[in-house]
Amino acid sequence: MLTGSGEQVAPIVRHVHAGEGYDAVVDWGGLGHLPQYLTQLGLPPRVFLFTDSNLQKLYASTIIAKLTQAGFEPQLYVVPAGEASKSQQQLSAIYDWLLEQKAERREAIIAFGGGVVGDMVGYAAATYLRGVPLIQVPTSLLAQVDAAIGGKTGINHPQGKNLIGAFYHPRLVLADPATLLTLPPRERTEGWAEVVKYGIILDAELFALLEEHVNVLSTFTHPPVALLSQIVARCIELKVRVIEEDEREQGRRAILNYGHTIGHALENVSGYGEWLHGEAVSLGMVAAAALAQAAGMFSADEVLRQNRLLKAFGLPVVYQGAVRAQDILAKIQLDKKVVGKRVRWVMPKRIGEVVVTPMTDELVSLVVTGFFAEKRP
């Protein structure tokens, strides 16, 4: 049972039965134990640490000192912070650097950062020398509960988000929720969209827990150590169960993309960076719930519960911007869930349960056009 206790918690470990198998660890303060976790994996001493320009200032010198002290030989590479870095150009620069360093097949790459670093550096690890050991150390809430779990790696293409990539599992995921304390509030807030998503698609109990504790979770004035660690671990557990059943998204794993069909389209059409991923997913969930309600699948009361919780976390629930509905509708056709030129929508039936189903073009057009019409709250 999930609780709201504020007590310190021991590391929570979930062994993931995918790829060659690996541990996903939630450990408050675990960043300080990174050398011990790496030592347990029996890796060569030289490791390649990738982070972004924001995190470099906060953590790089400390991590490098700890790794060096433990006998490792860390080499640092810094990518510019932001979604725009998830590009072919930046990926090529990473390959160039690894080749200059003469990085070898057994030497590990450490992706230390949010979803951008994890996705792109993960893809570099998957493809450099046809695959080198990857360690994911996610530092954002979004990455800890979602992006770093499950082996999806990739970069964006001008035509769409995450269209170039590979399934490649890490040797370890180390999520330290204490790193969330150093996030700018907007970046911490966006991660709650993915947490709420898990409640909608799989876990009504988690959803109710979020409703109960939304004030303390969203303000972070006194970080609820045990509660936050439990929520991160619960989200990991939910995602791992799905990917163990459907590792390469041939079926059930598609439910994890609730809110992402419209969310990804919005990110692309508006230009990567205007909306953070979690913000776009929040709007995507609001639109998806409206679509499900219009189809008679999802009750008005549960739509209200979803949108009220998203708003309470500080996430957007009303679109304000300049994109045109027809551009969103056109971009949806490039969604990775399209089969036989038909989009498979993740539609909620009730909080805790969704189905994947096609929807009529007429209904989608009606709801999307209404959602992206100019509005003011």
Residues 94-105: b if buried by 16+ CB within 10 A, e if exposed: beeebeeeebee
Residue 313: DSSP 8-state: T
Q: Considering 83, 107, 187, 194, which one is annotated as catalytic?
A: 194
Separation CA 375–CA 204 (nearest Å): 31
Q: Considering 86, 152, 234, 305, which one is annotated as catalytic?
A: 152
Q: Considering 14, 239, 305, 331, which one is annotated as catalytic?
A: 239
Separation CA 165–CA 78 (nearest Å): 21
Q: How far apart are the first and last CA of the chain?
A: 37
Residue 302 appears among annotated catalytic residues: no
CA neighbor of 285 nearest in space, from 214, 209, 354, 363:
354
Residue 15 appears among annotated catalytic residues: no
Residue 194 marked in a binding site: yes
Residue 17 appears among annotated catalytic residues: no
Residue 140 marked in a binding site: yes
Residue 157 marked in a binding site: no
Residue 202 marked in a binding site: no
Residue 115 marked in a binding site: yes
Residues 263-290: b if buried by 16+ CB within 10 A, e if exposed: bbbbbbbbebeebbbbbbbbbbbbbbbb
Residue 324 appears among annotated catalytic residues: no
Residue 117 marked in a binding site: yes
Residue 264 appears among annotated catalytic residues: yes
Q: Considering 171, 197, 234, 277, which one is annotated as catalytic?
A: 277
Residue 249 appears among annotated catalytic residues: yes
| Phi, psi values for residue 342, rounded to 5° | -115, 130
Residue 2 marked in a binding site: no
Q: Considering 86, 169, 188, 253, which one is annotated as catalytic?
A: 253
Q: Considering 257, 267, 305, 331, which one is annotated as catalytic?
A: 257
Residue 260 appears among annotated catalytic residues: yes
Binding residues: 115-119, 139-140, 152, 161, 179-182, 194, 260, 277
| Active site residue ranges | 130, 152, 194, 239, 249, 253, 257, 260, 264, 277
Binding residues for NAD(+): 115-119, 139-140, 152, 161, 179-182
Binding residues for Zn(2+): 194, 260, 277
